[in-house]
Every structure is written in structure tokens, then in C-alpha cells.
Amino acid sequence: MAENQRVHPAIDIEAPPTAPLVPNGTSASKKGSPVRNHPPLPQTIPTIQAIPAKKRNCCCKCVCWTIGLLVLLLIIIAATAGILYKIFQPKLPNYSVNSLKISDLRLNFDMTLYAKFDVKITANNPNKKIGIYYKKGGKLSVWSTKTKLCEGSLPNFYQGHQNKTVLNIALTGQTQYGNTLMTALQEQQRTGRIPLDLKVHAPVAIKLGKLKLRKVKVTGGCLLVVDSLTTNNLISIKASNCKFRLKL
């Protein structure tokens, strides 16, 4: 009977608790080694420095002064221009066609159209206190529809106050597709009304008293209606409408 009795181990109730396998503040990895958790980094909040009121007032004053000076400058310029306009009363020069003569108008073997015109125009300066310097590069040309027939140069000269100057200008030119253009001109000649466009491009300098201003351009032209394009004959101008403008 004594051999069949089992012996049970005694439990020590007062044994101290065992230490944990993973220290506090760490977590176990898959391989069993502890992984230490780092505490979160502190976040820094940027501080916004306010602009001092004195500096803001200084900037506002600078902007106001700049705007005020610009407005004052514009007022001075406008007043000066108004005074000059009142004193000199400027007017655009104008031009009129006195006569038109065709010295040569023929179709060449290469089917280009050769034209030579002699034009007499009057340049009028209607200003009482303004002189006009005609500079190099002035052109006078004759066009039919949108094709330039011939062109000539305006002379360089000074035109005084309230002066009319008669200019004799020789114009020459050679145009491609002359056969088509000559046919159109001949058809218009049968009607006795041939429209031509005389264009003026004149670089000029204005003289106000003793002051010579910068160069500007007078552009425009005259829409003419003539009765014939017969060579070596004085052509009758049936209608003329001229318009000009100043271009800076």
C-alpha cells in the first residue's frame, strides 16, 4: 500500500515573482529579441514675428509718396502739353496732287510690267509757328489695287511756317505678273475711270521756335480716279481724296 502512494511536490506560496522576459518599455520582435520603443520627438511650433507698427507706417508713407509724385508728374506733363498746344496750335501737313504724267508703261518680255510716272504734288505746312524738316527716307508710290506700280523718293528740305512747296517727283517700278495687271488696267481704261492710290511716307522733324523735336512720320495717301493711262500725255484727275496722319 505504501508503494502505491504518489508524492506531490510542495508549492512554495511565498516564492518571489519571476522577472518578465521582455523589459518594460520594449516590445518583442518576431525573432524574440526585444525592440526598444523610442519616445516621440518634441514638435517645435514656428513663431511668427509681428511687423512693428513703425515699420508698416514707413512703408505706407513711401508708397503714398511715390504715387503722389507720379500723379504730380503726369499733371505737369499734361499741363505743359496743353500750354504748348495752346501756343503753337499744331496742324498736320497735307499734300495734294497737281498733275500726273505717265512717261512709260509697257509689258516686258519676261511678263513684268515697267512703269514710269512723273508726279507733281504740293506739300502744305499750315502752321504759323511750326517748321518742318523733311528727312531722308521719304517715299511716294503709286498703287493699283494692292499692287505697287512705281515709287520715288521725297527730297530733303526744310519747310517754313505757312509754306507751300511744289515737288516734282519721278517714280519708277517693275512689277511681276504684268500681263494680268495690264489686262485689268486696259479694262478699266475702257470705262474712263481708273482708280489709283498714291501713298506718302515722310519722316519729318518738327521745329517749335528754336526747339527741334524728335523725328516722327507723316503717312497717308490720296485715292485718285484718272481717265487714262496713255503715255506721254497729261492725265486728267477726275477725283482725289487725301487723308494723312502722324505716326510716332
Residues 201-213: tens digit of each pLDDT: 999 999 987 888 8
Judge whether residue 224 has pLDDT over 70.
yes
**pLDDT > 70 in the chain, percent:** 77
User: Given its phi and psi angles, is residue 187 left (phi above 0), alpha (psi -120 to 50 degrees) or beta?
Assistant: alpha
> For residue 239, what are the β-bridge partners?
225
The residue that leads in pLDDT, 103 or 27, is 103
Using a cut of 0.75, tell me whether the model's pTM lies above it: no
pLDDT of residue 79: 87
Judge whether residue 7 has pLDDT over 80.
no
| Long-range Cβ contacts of 210-218 (<8 Å, 24+ apart) | 212/133, 215/135, 216/246, 216/247, 216/248, 217/246, 217/247, 217/248, 218/92, 218/93, 218/244, 218/245, 218/246, 218/247
**pLDDT > 90 in the chain, percent:** 51
> What does the DSSP 8-state code read for residue 248?
-
Mean pLDDT of 150-173: 96
Q: For residue 172, give the nearest of 74, 105, 239, 244 by alpha carbon.
A: 105
The residue that leads in pLDDT, 155 or 43, is 155
Q: Where are the domains of the chain?
A: 94-247
User: Given its phi and psi angles, is residue 236 left (phi above 0), alpha (psi -120 to 50 degrees) or beta?
Assistant: beta
Judge whether residue 37 has pLDDT over 80.
no
pLDDT, tens digit (0-9, with 9 covering 90-100), for 51-74: 555 566 777 878 888 888 899 899
Range with the lowest mean pLDDT among 18-32, 72-86, 103-117, 231-245?
Answer: 18-32
